[in-house]
């Protein structure tokens, strides 16, 4: 017995199926055996099963509401006990930090705050409350509790999820102030359809500039591996994927994700962590056809990814060693115990974790311009030399989107291609286009000749930032106006 709690991960009270349907009660009453059953009370109640199943596959809000009310009625007529309370969320933030995001139901503790927070203009009278403790390049986040597990297959607490959410990215994302609005995050676009059996499909096209923090390229098999293994082996990180039917890889960047029936929650459920297959997969295994299952030794609760050097994702922050023995190594060495010694995933109340912004384009010897967070921001983009000149993927995307319509299209590519090889305006390369596309930092050998800019634009072809919502014309609630 232990103290625990559940929090809704999205805008709908869609927890009833996972927590109380018999299919989640291991094989005690007809479900699937699992080491950590979602239905931890082993509730086996046919009336509740019928209502929760209907709610889990409701294609619209009205149907979902009716089925969920039926589920609550059935719940109230049975001897099922779980303490429930509504939390009053009161989270403090320093006024010296600008860009913090007040997420609905979570307040400032969310991934958006960590991505957008930065030093503001306010100067506190007490220097103890200065941004970053006086260092404008350091963002501090104090949590109410330490962590025990940073293994994605065994993560449990909200504080552990907070940490994982900085290192691992998600396929989809929710608007923090209107979580019913779901848009592409690691993908550039997605579309939905329903097959002849009534099952819902998501056709997803990944972005081209995705990298793991160790330099490996992210592909569709990584997504398939993550979704299926989290569904089958992670009770918490994959708890919302119980109705995931299958994933079909169509190309390196395209995949078809299918669910049982239809549900308003399925787009929300795809805001799931994506983890590196080359690190977690059992060698030689092909259980899911073209991808395998997680290595059982690594999904075990004793496996510490920080100590093993595998705490590697594709998110905005990376675990980079601060210890002399492996200084700069990615995936380990980012946690210090209270006495300054090297720590692991169990971070005590006085322990600290130092994460570094994922942008390794300026690392010595690096030749990959995309060895950075795929939505990184750097106003110095297009200056300097080498791959560091491409630090700042937001600025690069905005540059590739010449006509500022929120998506890099064939017309943008055709415009830069018309100037390929040009060292001055002429022919189909107008003076306006030539001056726009020329970025001398990308070809120091011939600074006035357009060349590698074509490759840069092509690498962002079809990229958007808020698909399927439009930007700059609108769509997402509280979306900042686009400024090229």
Q: Name which of 54, 55, 45, 5 is nearest 24 in CA terms.
A: 45
Rg (CA), the chain: 24
pLDDT at 348: 84
**Residue 414 in 3-state DSSP?**
helix
How would residue 29 be classed by pLDDT, with cut points 50, 70 and 90? confident
For residue 468, cis peptide bond before it (omega within 30 degrees of 0) = yes
Smallest Cα–Cα separation from 146: which of 162, 133, 165, 132?
162
8 A C-beta contact, residue 136 and residue 130: no
Residues 214, 271 within the same domain: yes
| pTM of the predicted protein model | 0.93
Torsion, Cα of 388, 113, 348, 90 (10° steps): 170
Task: Classify residue 49 by its DSSP letter.
Answer: H
In a domain, 323, yes or no: no
At residue 449's C-alpha, the angle toward residues 448 and 450, to 5°, is: 120
Tell whether 6 is covered by a domain. no
| Structural domain contains residue 311 | no
Asked if residue 198 has pLDDT above 70, the reply is yes
Considering only residues 151 and 11, tell me which one the structure prediction assigns the higher pLDDT.
151
Is there a single domain that holds both residue 69 and residue 133? no
Phi, psi of 480, deg, nearest 5: -65, 135
322 burial type by CB count under 10 A (0-12 exposed, 13-18 middle, 19+ buried)? middle
Residues 381 and 477 both lie in one domain? yes
Question: How many residues are listed for the chain in this entry?
Answer: 484
How many domains, in total, are found in the chain? Answer: 4
Q: Sort 423 into a burial class: Cβ within 10 Å, 0-12 / 13-18 / 19+.
A: middle
Q: Which residues pair with 336 in a beta bridge?
A: 342, 352
Question: Which residues neighbour 295 within 8 Å (Cβ) at sequence distance 6 or greater?
Answer: 280, 281, 282, 283
Asked if residue 119 and residue 237 are part of one domain, the reply reads no
Q: Are residues 133 and 186 in the same domain?
A: no
Provide the residue range defining the domain that includes 254.
163-298
Answer for the pair 201, 194: CB distance below 8 angstroms, yes or no. yes
Same domain as 294, residue 168: yes
330 domain-assigned: no
Indicate whether 412 and 478 sit together in one domain. Answer: yes
The yes-or-no verdict on residue 308 having pLDDT over 80 is: yes
Q: What is the pLDDT of residue 88?
A: 67
Residues 6+ apart with CB under 8 A from 249: 220, 221, 224, 255, 290
Q: Which of the 8 DSSP states describes residue 175?
A: E
Does residue 319 lie within any of the structural domains? no
**272 lies in the same domain as 184:** yes
**pLDDT at 2 > cutoff 60:** no
Report the range of poorest mean pLDDT among 8-17, 222-231, 382-391, 403-412.
Answer: 8-17
Question: Do both 289 and 410 map to the same domain?
Answer: no
Q: Are residues 465 and 438 in the same domain?
A: yes
Instruction: Report the candidate in 113, 122, 83, 92 with the shortest Cα–Cα distance to residue 176.
Output: 113
For residue 119, give every residue at least 6 positions away whose Cβ sits within 8 Å of its Cβ, in sequence order, or none.
96, 97, 98, 131, 132, 136
Rounded CA-CA distance 312/323 in Å is: 17
pLDDT tens, position by position, 127-176: 989 999 899 999 988 888 899 999 999 998 889 999 999 999 999 999 99
Same domain, 411 and 478: yes
Shared domain for 129 and 229, answered yes or no, is no
Indicate the SS3 state at residue 242. Answer: coil
- Contact (Cβ atoms closer than 8 angstroms) between residue 422 and residue 429: yes
> Each residue of 460-481: pLDDT tens digit?
999 999 999 988 877 889 888 8
Ranges 211-215, 270-274, 331-335, 447-451: which has the least confidence = 447-451
């Amino acid at each position: 017995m232990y103290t625990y709690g559940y929090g809704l991960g999205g805008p709908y009270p869609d927890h009833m199926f996972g927590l109380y349907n018999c299919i989640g009660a291991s094989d005690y009453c007809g479900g699937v055996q699992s080491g950590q059953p979602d239905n931890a009370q082993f509730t086996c109640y046919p009336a509740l099963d019928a209502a929760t199943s209907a709610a889990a596959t409701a294609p619209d809000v009205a149907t979902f509401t009716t089925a969920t009310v039926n589920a609550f009625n059935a719940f109230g007529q049975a001897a099922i006990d779980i303490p429930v309370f509504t939390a009053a969320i009161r989270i403090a933030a320093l006024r010296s930090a600008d860009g913090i995001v007040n997420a609905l139901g979570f307040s400032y503790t969310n991934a958006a705050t960590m991505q957008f927070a930065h030093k503001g203009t306010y100067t506190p009278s007490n220097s103890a409350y200065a941004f970053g403790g006086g260092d404008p390049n350091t963002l501090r986040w104090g949590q109410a509790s330490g962590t025990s597990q940073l293994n994605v297959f065994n993560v449990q607490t909200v504080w552990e999820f907070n940490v994982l959410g900085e290192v691992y990215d998600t396929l989809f994302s929710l608007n923090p102030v209107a979580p019913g609005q779901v848009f592409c995050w690691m993908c550039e676009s997605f579309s939905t359809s329903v097959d002849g059996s009534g099952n819902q499909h998501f056709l997803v096209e990944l972005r081209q500039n995705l990298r793991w923090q160790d330099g490996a390229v992210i592909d569709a098999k990584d997504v398939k591996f993550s979704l299926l293994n989290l569904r089958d082996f992670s009770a918490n990180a994959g708890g919302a994927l119980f109705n995931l039917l299958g994933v079909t890889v169509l190309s390196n960047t395209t995949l078809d994700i299918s669910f049982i029936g239809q549900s308003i929650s399925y787009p929300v459920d795809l805001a799931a962590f994506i983890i590196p297959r080359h690190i977690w997969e059992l060698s030689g295994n092909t259980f899911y056809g073209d991808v395998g299952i997680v290595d059982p030794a690594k999904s075990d609760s004793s496996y510490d990814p920080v100590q093993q050097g595998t705490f590697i994702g594709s998110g905005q922050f990376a675990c980079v060693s601060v210890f002399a023995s492996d200084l700069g190594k990615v995936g380990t060495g980012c946690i210090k115990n209270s006495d300054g010694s090297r720590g692991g995933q169990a971070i005590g109340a006085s322990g600290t974790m130092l994460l570094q912004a994922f942008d390794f384009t300026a690392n010595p010897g690096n030749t990959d311009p995309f060895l950075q967070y795929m939505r990184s921001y750097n106003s110095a983009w297009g200056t300097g030399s080498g791959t560091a000149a491409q630090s700042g993927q937001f600025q690069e995307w905005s540059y590739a989107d010449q006509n500022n319509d929120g998506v890099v299209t064939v017309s943008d590519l055709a415009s830069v291609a018309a100037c390929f090889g040009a060292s001055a305006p002429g022919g189909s390369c107008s003076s306006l286009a030539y001056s726009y596309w020329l970025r001398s930092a990308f070809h120091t050998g011939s600074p006035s000749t357009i060349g590698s800019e074509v490759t840069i634009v092509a690498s962002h072809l079809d990229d958007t930032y808020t698909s399927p919502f439009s930007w700059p014309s609108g769509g997402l609630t509280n979306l900042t106006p686009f400024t090229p």
